[in-house]
Amino acid sequence: MKMEDKKRRDFIKQIAGLGVLGIAATAGIYFAPKLKADEAILRPPGAVEEDAFLDLCIKCGQCLQVCPYDSIFLEGVKGGASMGMAYIDPTKRGCYLCEAFPCILACPTGALDHESDTIDKVHMGMAVIVNENACLALKKENVPSKAIDKIYDHTKILSKKEHREHKVIMRGDESEKEELQKKLLQKLENFRDKSCTICADLCPFTPNPQDAIGMVSKNGGLIPQIREACVGCGACVELCPTQVLKVVPNATYEDIYGKGKQNG
């Protein structure tokens, strides 16, 4: 392994432990100019390399308008040079890897590359376990109701009644967007006050989520294991009831876990 690669890998492991904000604070100093602070931002699927993205994104918001999950935000003033550009904050809403990647197709400039519109070409980052001891599956604890309720706040499509009562009502005349978001909440409801395997069961990677994440035995309980196919969509980060996971933007499996190694 080249020294530069090793340094990058060690660095990514270090920032994975610090969390996403830590990446931004540290990366610019330690790795400049190769790994800049703004590379720590999770971009929508299909995003070109960060420098090119900064040149190409015209802040039009087309991608977020077509996103059925409301996963994309535009950076605020704190974004500095990239203010107004598209990003994903998986603590608020992950990306659900729509089959046809409407966000990519909607991008008029190629900031989201139209050639990267299938799952095998999308790579946003890599999930990492940052707070193993909080994992409910490891502790053999049930998912608290309030953790499921919290995800209702992440969606804008619910009626006041549905939101207030944390109940999904299917009317039969939903738009595709409403239907998708309601179906996600219905899947999540299966875990209310039950044992947790949310991250592995609701990972949207296709065709086989188990290629991206699975549950493995540990200390008499279970713990998620991140696998090579993970694309860093952040759905598991959003849905985990106890903030066990993070996504390191742009990182590869090898960056985090090393070649051929298993985690978990």
CB closer to ligand SF4, 137 vs 158: 137
* Residue 27 or 202 having the CB closest to ligand SF4: 202
Applying CB under 6 A, among 16, 42, 57, 67 the residue interacting with ligand SF4 is 67
Interface map 155-194 toward ligand SF4 (x if CB under 6 A): ----------------------------------------
For the chain, what is the HEC assignment?
Answer: CCHHHHHHHHHHHHHHHHCHHHHHHHHHHHCCCCCCHHHHCCCCCCECCHHHHHHHCCCCCHHHHHCCCCCEEECCHHHHHHCCCEEECCCCCCCCCCCCCHHHHHCCCCCECHHHCCHHHCCCEEEEECCHHHCHHHHCCEECHHHHHHHHCCCCCCCHHHHHHCCCCCCCCCCHHHHHHHHHHHHHHCCECCECCHHHHCCCCCCCHHHCEEEEEECCEEEEEECCCCCCCCHHHHHCCCCCEEEEECCCHHHHHCCCCCCC
Residue 83: partners with Cβ closer than 8 Å, 6 or more residues away: 75, 76, 77
**CB closer to ligand SF4, 24 vs 256:** 256
Rg of the chain on CA atoms, in Å: 18
Tell me: does residue 257 bind ligand SF4 (CB under 6 A). no
User: Which parts of 111-150 interact with ligand SF4 (CB under 6 A)?
Assistant: 127, 135-137
Position among 12, 24, 38, 71 found at the interface with ligand SF4 (CB under 6 A): 71
The nearest distance, CB 63 to ligand SF4, in angstroms, is 7
- 107: contact with ligand SF4 by CB under 6 A: no
Q: How far is the CB of 234 from ligand SF4 (least distance, A)?
A: 5
C-beta closer to ligand SF4: residue 31 or 87? 87
Number of residues that bind ligand SF4 (CB under 6 A): 40
Residues within window 215-254 making contact with ligand SF4, judged by CB under 6 A: 224, 226, 230-236, 240-242, 244-245, 247
Using CB under 6 A as the binding rule, whether residue 24 contacts ligand SF4 is answered as: no
- In the complex, the residues that contact ligand SF4 under the rule CB under 6 A are 44-45, 67, 69, 71-72, 95-98, 101-103, 127, 135-137, 196-199, 203, 205, 212-213, 224, 226, 230-236, 240-242, 244-245, 247
